[in-house]
């Protein structure tokens, strides 16, 4: 279990680097950070805007990809990797009590009135998760950070520590994180086969030596994807 404070062990060697200029205020340091499990594969994704092209008055609510691509050309990536649906009050579809006929990245979303005890579906909206290069059109990246190396307990590229050192260089709410090895050519962290104690846009990256079969981590650098500002 990861500590809510995610305290980094004191280590002798820390490598510092510079990042691009984001000027949003970092969150208060007293805010607790969520607990995360150890995992070894984290895709880089972003979300489309919300779409609401239909309502259930005609017998069903169809928020299908075929319909949405016609109404919103260029707004959805060619191959979505995830779908999220909520009613217009923001309640997730699987918590509304409705029986959902379809919800996937191939067809989209369909709720049929005839499947409901009440006789009518909620009115739903949907959005889709996409991977680069689609994300590159909607996200601005910081430069790379490499503040630590794995000579001690591991490589701690935490958002908390990076904000402390570069308070005005990372946006307030990063959308996602990318990590690669520092060697050249670099290798994406998700392709190294290593286990990560933390890998999150809200916490950064932590690779601990103890979690690896080899008992040593590679050296990583990270960058954060932020909403673009004018």
pLDDT in tens, 153-187: 999 999 999 998 887 889 887 877 889 999 988 89
pLDDT higher than threshold 70 for residue 211: yes
Which stretch of DSSP H or E encloses residue 125? strand 124-130
Q: What are phi and psi of 71, to 5 degrees?
A: -80, -30
Strand order in 220-227's β-sheet? 139-141, 220-227, 176-181
This prediction's pTM: 0.49
Q: Is the pLDDT of residue 62 over 50?
A: yes
Average pLDDT, the chain: 80
124-130 and 154-158 as β-strands: parallel, antiparallel, unpaired?
Answer: unpaired
Question: Do 63 and 54 contact (CB within 8 A), yes or no?
Answer: yes
Structure confidence by residue, pLDDT tens digits, 101-146: 999 999 999 999 999 999 999 999 999 988 766 665 567 889 899 9
DSSP 213: T
Residue 12 — very low, low, confident or very high, per pLDDT cuts 50/70/90?
A: very low
Q: E strand or H helix at 85, and its extent?
A: strand 82-87
What the block records as the tokens of 174 is: 């990063």
């Amino acid at each position: 279990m990861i500590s809510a404070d995610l305290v980094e062990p004191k280590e002798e060697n820390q490598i510092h680097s510079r990042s691009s200029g984001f000027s949003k205020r970092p969150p208060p340091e007293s805010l607790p950070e969520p607990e995360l499990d150890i995992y070894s594969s984290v895709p880089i994704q972003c979300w489309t805007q919300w779409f609401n092209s239909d309502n259930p008055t005609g017998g069903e609510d169809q928020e299908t990809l075929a319909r949405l691509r016609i109404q919103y050309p260029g707004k959805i990536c060619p191959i979505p990797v995830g779908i999220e649906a909520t009613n217009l009050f923001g309640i997730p579809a699987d918590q509304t009590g409705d029986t959902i006929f379809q919800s996937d990245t191939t067809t989209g979303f369909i709720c049929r009135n005839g499947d409901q005890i009440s006789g009518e579906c909620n009115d739903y909206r949907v959005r889709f998760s996409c991977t680069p290069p689609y994300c590159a059109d909607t996200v601005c990246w910081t430069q790379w950070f490499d503040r630590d190396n794995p000579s001690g307990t591991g490589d701690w590229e935490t958002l908390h520590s990076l904000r402390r050192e570069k308070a005005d260089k990372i946006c307030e709410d990063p959308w996602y994180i990318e990590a690669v090895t520092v060697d050249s050519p670099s290798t994406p962290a998700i392709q190294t086969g290593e286990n990560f104690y933390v890998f999150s846009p809200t916490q950064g990256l932590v690779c601990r030596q103890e979690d690896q079969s080899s008992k040593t981590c590679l050296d990583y650098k990270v960058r954060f994807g932020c909403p673009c500002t004018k």
